[in-house]
Amino acid sequence: MGETKVLSTLDEIRAFSDPYRLEIISTLHQLRRPATVKQVAVKMGEVPAKVYYHMKKMEKVGLVRIVYTEEINGIIAKFYEPTAQIYRIVKEEIQPKWIDTILTEERQAYGALFDKNKNIFIKYAPDHPQNLHLASKVLYMSDEEAATLRKDIRQLLEQYQKPLSPEKKAYSLFSSLVCMEDK
């Protein structure tokens, strides 16, 4: 799996901005190993046919890929994984006529990501107050310092994204770093 995939076509961004598809990608990341549609569906509590439909759409635009196949009970099972850890939308490479559509899709993707993490927080925070950390800060830095901070955060988090061992617990971290100055 690569670290970053740049999304610059309307099809890629539409496929990525669908909240259900974001949930599938998130589930694949949570599983920390290639998984079949059925395995993803079970983890999500969904019907495999629905997951399959969306998985095929994502495969078509390169958001997920088949890593290997295996015969299970006479059926060829396809094992999928995300193509990247980070998906980045690059508007500069998009035709001007699609910019408004892309902005709408991008906002939908951000909204889905915020909602997903809000729901995780609401679900688990009351049961684990000792493990809760919530912060909202305004930071002052140059664009270069912000880029360095993003890189440092990614590097720091890599050590905690290894496969689970029995003594480790899953924690959810959601962060955003956005410039609050108008261009």
CATH number at residue 30: 1.10.10.10
Structure confidence by residue, pLDDT tens digits, 112-160: 778 888 888 888 887 877 777 778 889 899 999 998 998 898 888 877 7
Structural domain count of the chain: 1
pLDDT at residue number 72? 84
Contact 117, 174 (CB under 8 A): yes
Residue 168 in domain: no
pLDDT of residue 94: 63
**Is 164 within the bounds of a domain?**
no
Residue 136 covered by a domain: no
Q: Look up the domain containing 18 and give its range.
A: 2-128
Residue 173 placed within a domain: no
- Using only C-alpha atoms, what is the Rg of the chain? 18
Is residue 139 included in any domain, yes or no? Answer: no
The answer to whether position 86 is within a domain reads: yes
Tell me how far apart the alpha carbons of residues 46 and 51 are, in angstroms, rounded to a whole number: 7
* pLDDT tens for each residue of 58-92: 999 999 999 999 998 888 999 999 998 888 877 66
